Each structure stands twice: as C-alpha cells, then as structure tokens.
Structure 1
Amino acid sequence: MRILIAEDDPHLGPSLKKGLEESRYAVDLVTDGEEALSVGLAIPYNLIILDIMLPHLDGFEVCKKLRDQKRTTPILFLSALSGLDHRVTGLDIGADDYLTKPFAFRELEARVRALLRREGPTKTTTLSYADITLDTRTHDVRRGEREISLTSKEYLLLELLMRNPGQVLSRGMIAEHMWNIDTDNLSNVIDVYIRYLRRKLCEDGEPDLIHTIRGFGYQLKEP
C-alpha cells in the first residue's frame, strides 16, 4: 500500500512518514500543496493524508482539484483547524475523513486501516495502451505477443506513462515517481531511462509511442 503525506511541519511530516513506514506502508512525503496535487494526479496512491494549511495551494484546494480530475483516492485531512465549519467543509468537498491535531498516532493508524479497507481490492491489474499491456501484479509487460523484460526503474517509468496516457509528464514528476525526489539533477538520468525503454518497446520496429515534448517532458501518445 502506498500513501502520500502532504505536511509542511518539519517535525510532524517526517515523524508520520517514519511511523507509517514502520507499519510496512510505502510512504511519500511532500511539503506544499502544488507538489501534493502534482504527484497525487500522477501516482496511483492508495491513500492521501493532507494538511490544510499548506504553502502555495491549501489542502482544501488540493482535494477539490483531485476530485475534479475524477481521482477517487481516499483522502484524510489532518489539521489544527478543529472548528465544525472546517470539518464539514473538508468532508463536503470530497475528503473521506478528518482528524484534528493534536492526535494520537494509534488513532491515525486506525483511521488509515479503515480507509484502506474501504478502498477495497483493485478491480483490475492490467493496464493497456495501443498494443502494450502491463500487469501491475506480476509486472509482466508485452507489446503485442512479444514479452518485454524491464528493469525495476524501466517498469516504474512505463507504468507512470501508461497510467497517464496523453498527459505530458515533467522530469520532476517522473523523478518523484521513480526516486521519491523532485530534482533537475536527475534530468539526464531520466533521459537515459527513456532511451532504454524506447529501445525495448520498439525492438521489432514498432512505432515509438513515447514523445519528447521539448521544454516540458514526455508523453505517451499514439503516432
């Protein structure tokens, strides 16, 4: 299970991440609303834990924009704003739960478990685009009838592209998905992995579906 935490408190955020990782969840931590929205749209999280008073874009706006984009990922608000109006607003705009600070970590864990149970099993494990299929359970990748062997990073890159067909993905977004960091220092590395992936996908002369959008990033799109 993969969880996104959006929390700008320099002590609380890392503490929550450590605690949930000790409970065997995969956890990503971001510290501002714009980044939370970006990775929340790009990566299929099982749960998003959102602070409300985030820099650049507040948690309410992040939640509304995710729901506007038809993202159904469970959202848990975690906030010092404990008034009734704030709690009602959070639930009305699409959050699934609202926990006020301060809180006991055991209660947060219990709410996380409840939301993940509510999410239920994924209905399908297969992603398809054009003649490419990817099984998220077995990590089997095929183009037509041809089986393709990918490294773990190549697989993560292809999965991200296939979950966002037609969307231009920035190098920062790709870095966040593959290394849990957003940095331009990885731009050249990402370009290398794109080249590796293209080579394997087009090994038998098939058309290239990964397009370079200069100055922006990459896009999975049919020719």
Structure 2
Amino acid sequence: MTMRRLILGSLALLTIAVGITGCSRAPERPMTTKPDQLFISYQRHGPSGYMDQVLTILNKGPSAAAPTLEITPLDSTGAPVPGITVRTAYGTDRGKVVVSSQGEGFDVLAFSGADVARLADVRVKVRDVVPVNYVIPIEVADPQAMNGYRRPTTKFGPFTAVEVRNLNTEDITVGIVCIHWNQPPDGQPQQALAATELGVMTIPTLQTVTTPLSKSAQQAASQDCGSLKAYLAIPPGS
C-alpha cells in the first residue's frame, strides 16, 4: 500500500470520527405520558339521562396510562371540606383505570359525610402514572346484560352474564361495574350507594365476548343495577 493511500484512508477515518462526535443528538421525545399531560374535569350534575358526579380524564400524552388520583372535596369557595369520604366506582384512586393516548377515561365519584351538602367541586392530584401497552385510542362499549339463556335482558333485573363488544383493532381488557344509585333530595346530584365490580374480561380485536358472572356478582346484579358500565383496564401481564 502506498503512502498516499495510507494518508487518504486516515483522513477518511478522521472525517467519519469527527462527523460522529461532532453531531449533537436531538432530544428524544418522551414515550410515556406524564402527569401534566392528563387533563381532569368533574361534572357534579350530568345532563338528563346521564350519570351525575362524573370525573373525565383526557390523556394528551404519547402513551396509554393508568393514573392514581388523589381527590379532595371542595366547597363553593374552593376550600377543602373536611370529614367527607370520597369513593370511586371504577378505581381511579387505586390506579385501576387506563386512559388511552389521545383518548378519554371516566370514573364516577360518591361522597359521604355530614357536610356533603356543602360540596361544590373537587381538586384532583395525579399521584402516579403507570404506562400501559395500548397503541391506539380505545373506545369502550357499554356491556349488555344477559339472562340464563344467553339472551339480552334488562340491567335492572337479575342477569347471569354480561356481553361486551370490542370496537377496536387491538385486544382490550375491561372491568365491568354495576352501580346502585340513591334518590337524592331536590337540587342534589345522585350518589352511588354502591359500585360492585362484576368481573374483568379480555376481548380480542373486533370480537364480542360473553362472560358468566360469579355467584356473588349475580347477587349484586339482582339488586337493581342502575348503571352497567365498562372501563378500560390493565391487560394481564402488564
């Protein structure tokens, strides 16, 4: 090999090395949703025919996420109301509800305590966010109550199974909840007296799955299920 080729080869290697070390890398886009990318609103009174006390979570982040929420009841001045216990129907205060990226998730709040009538609003703090492997915005269909013959029946009477259709192009896991409501005084929103989880089911892409209820879930379903709802849940193995 001639001296000229050695020099040219060394210059080529030097150019490559300078190119590699001299180029600064663009900052990587974060691939998990952060707490400040979750936008949460509370509606005390729903429109006619819709549930009251609904919490809506909008996920503007890049990944599906299961947040754990801390919920503080407030009066009309925005001050915390002591002595009020907050319950959730779906479990957003326990990190059970998944909100897909660019999608919405929901929960239903219930309050108990001597000063519930003072309640006007809530303050919500995101304590933790766990990323979940859903790729697309997920739409969750309402469950259908099924009788012992696996035929559709009313949610208000006894039923022994639930049917849910997956409207999405990926597998989903959903939790099924039966909510029992009170009859509130005039001007007050309905309160969920109890919210019973009837089961968790995984549904393949664009399929419909019917799942029988356990005996305890059938007992809950026999006590006038005012609302039969599904929420997006964490898939098994996540």
Higher relative contact order (CA closer than 8 Å, sequence separation 6+) = 2
Please say which structure displays the higher CA radius of gyration: 2
Which bracket does the TM-score occupy, shorter chain normalised?
under 0.3
The structure with more strand, counted as a fraction of residues: 2
